[in-house]
Amino acid sequence: MFKTASGVTIPFTDKIKEEFEVSDRGIAFNMSIEKLGSFLCEFLDMLTEPMFFVLEVPLNQNEEEKLRKDDTYPFHKKVCYLDGQSKEQIKSILNQYGELLLNDGILQFAFYSHDTMEGIYIRKYKLAYIFSQNPSRHFEMLQKYGIVQTDKLVTVWDTFTHEAPGQARSIKVDSIDAYILLDELKKLGMYEAKVIGDR
C-alpha cells in the first residue's frame, strides 16, 4: 500500500499507484515514502560530478505579507542553491537531514549534475521527477523498486477534491524544521537565488 510522508495528508491513498510516466523532459513517478531515501542515494550514484543541491522553502509569515496582495495571489517560496558539490557532500546532506527532507510537508528539494543537468526533484506532496535526456537508462532502477510504467500517471493532485483536499505541514526532526535546515545549509554555502510563486 502506498505510504506518504508524515507531514502530508492525502485523502485517498488507495488511488495512488507506484508507477512512472515518461515525457519529453524526463520521468514523473509515485514512490512510497519508505523506499524514497534509498532510491535517492542509488540515483545519486548514477550522476556525474560536480553537482548542486536545491532547497525550496516557503516564505515566513512576515515575508509573505509583504508580497501577497490578497487571497487570489499565490503563496511564495525561496529557491536556494548549494553549488559545486560532490556526491559525498550530497550524500552527507541526505544522511543528516533526509528524514526531515522526505517527511516535511512544506519542503521541496532537488539535486542535479552541473554538466548534464540530469537530476531529481522532489516536489510538494513528494511527487518525484527525474530530469534526463536519456530517461530509459533509469527504467531498470525504477522497476527494481517496484515502480511500473504507465501511459497516464495518477498523482495525488488528481485525487484532491474541494471536500477532501490534501494537507502539507511543517514538522520537526531532532528539533530542526525547514527554516533551521536552511540556516544550517547556508553555513555550507547555500544561497537564496530567487523568490517565486508556489503553485
Q: What is the residue extent of each domain of the chain?
A: 8-197
- Which pLDDT value is given to residue 74? 79
Rounded to two decimals, what is the model's pTM? Answer: 0.93
- Nearest one of 179, 25, 187, 31 to 117, comparing CA atoms: 25
How high is the mean pLDDT of the chain? 94
CA distance 46 to 189: 24
- β-pair partners for 81: 54, 191
Per-residue pLDDT tens digits for 111-163 = 999 999 999 999 999 999 999 999 999 999 999 999 999 999 999 999 888 88
Neighbouring CB atoms inside 10 A of 59's CB total 17
- Nearest one of 109, 132, 108, 133 to 119, comparing CA atoms: 132
Per-residue pLDDT tens digits for 164-176 = 888 999 999 999 9
3-state class (DSSP) for residue 13: helix
- The band of 38, judged by pLDDT with boundaries at 50, 70 and 90, is very high
